[in-house]
Amino acid sequence: DTGVSQDPRHKITKRGQNVTFRCDPISEHNRLYWYRQTLGQGPEFLTYFQNEAQLEKSRLLSDRFSAERPKGSFSTLEIQRTEQGDSAMYLCASSSGVGYNEQFFGPGTRLTVL
Amino acid sequence: GQNIDQPTEMTATEGAIVQINCTYQTSGFNGLFWYQQHAGEAPTFLSYNVLDGLEEKGRFSSFLSRSKGYSYLLLKELQMKDSASYLCAVRDKGYSTLTFGKGTMLLVSP
């Protein structure tokens, strides 16, 4: 357990529905990241927050994806009008911004779109 | 663009030594990380290199050559629990996001 938690752990939804995932980072970490990982691939960067500011978004991120970190603590990732291609593991990570600034990953939310 | 290459799979025997290579071509460089990921679990941090040379951490060592765009992870005294995917990741700008390779699946057999 790295101290990063994600909820839910699993989500099954029908195509066209909206889904929202939550990430609670390590409490003293000001940086938070969202990644997507499919089978046999490494994590793919989606977006990054420093405190409540969203500083970077992947060019691959569809307009159907939106993320927030309203108070600089937990974050939510919403996917609107889900498609089967959205099926993946969604990983959240946090880091302190000091030292190595290594990222600590949560257990992920596995999304299946039927 | 970013390009990170690792072998897809490797096999080794318990007690042996294995070296997992990673080559990268990125627009900038601000550190290279190795993560371990067991099936169905989150990646966990193993090592970090930002300067050329070898970093040793118990049974794990990581090497970096910035001029060659090359790193390796060396695992000694392999144990069955080392069977996992090993991810090479480059931090290519600022102090923030990582670009990951596809990972190398290591299978340790008795």
pLDDT tens-place string over residues A59-92 = 878 899 999 999 889 999 999 999 999 999 999 9
Residue among B43, B48, B97 whose CB faces A100 most closely: B48
pLDDT-derived band at B93 (thresholds 50, 70, 90) equals: confident
How many Cα atoms within 13 Å fall on the side-chain side of residue B24? 31
The pLDDT of residue A101: 83
Distance CA(A58)–CA(A79), nearest Å, equals: 15
Task: Judge: B96–A91 Cβ closer than 8 Å, yes or no.
Answer: no
Q: Tokens standing for B70?
A: 């090359």
CA dihedral B93, A79, B84, B19 (to 10 degrees): -20
Nearest chain A residue to B34 by CA: give it.
A102
Which residue of chain A comes nearest to B40, CA vs CA? A107
Q: For A30-62, write each residue's pLDDT tens digit.
A: 999 999 999 999 999 999 999 999 998 998 788
pLDDT attached to residue B1: 62
The C-alpha of B44 sits at a distance from chain A's nearest C-alpha, in angstroms, of 7
CA-based nearest distance B110→chain A, Å: 24
d(CA A46, CA A60): 8
**Choosing among B55, B96, B99, which should be mutated to test the A contact, i.e. which has the most A CBs within 10 A?**
B96
Q: How many secondary structure helices (H) and strands (E) does chain B include?
A: 0, 11
Contact A4, A66 (CB under 8 A): no
With contact defined as beta carbons under 8 Å apart, do B47 and B55 qualify? yes
CA distance B108 to B78: 7
Rg (C-alpha) for chain A, rounded Å, is 13
**Torsion on CA atoms B61, B64, B70, B76, rounded to nearest 10:** -10
Distance CA A42, CA A22 (A): 21
Q: Which of B97, B99, B102 to mutate to test the interface with A (most CBs of A within 10 A)?
A: B97
Nearest CA in chain A to B101: A42
Do residue B101 and residue A42 have CB atoms under 8 angstroms apart? Answer: yes
Asked if A48 and B44 come within 8 Å (Cβ–Cβ), the reply is no
**Residue A89 tokens, joined:** 């593991």
Q: Is the pLDDT of residue B94 over 80?
A: no
Whether the predicted pLDDT of B2 surpasses 80: no
Paired with A76 in beta bridges are A22, A68
Collect all residues of chain B within an 8 Å Cβ-Cβ radius of residue A109: none
Q: Is A52 exposed, middle or buried (0-12, 13-18, 19+ CB in 10 A)?
A: middle
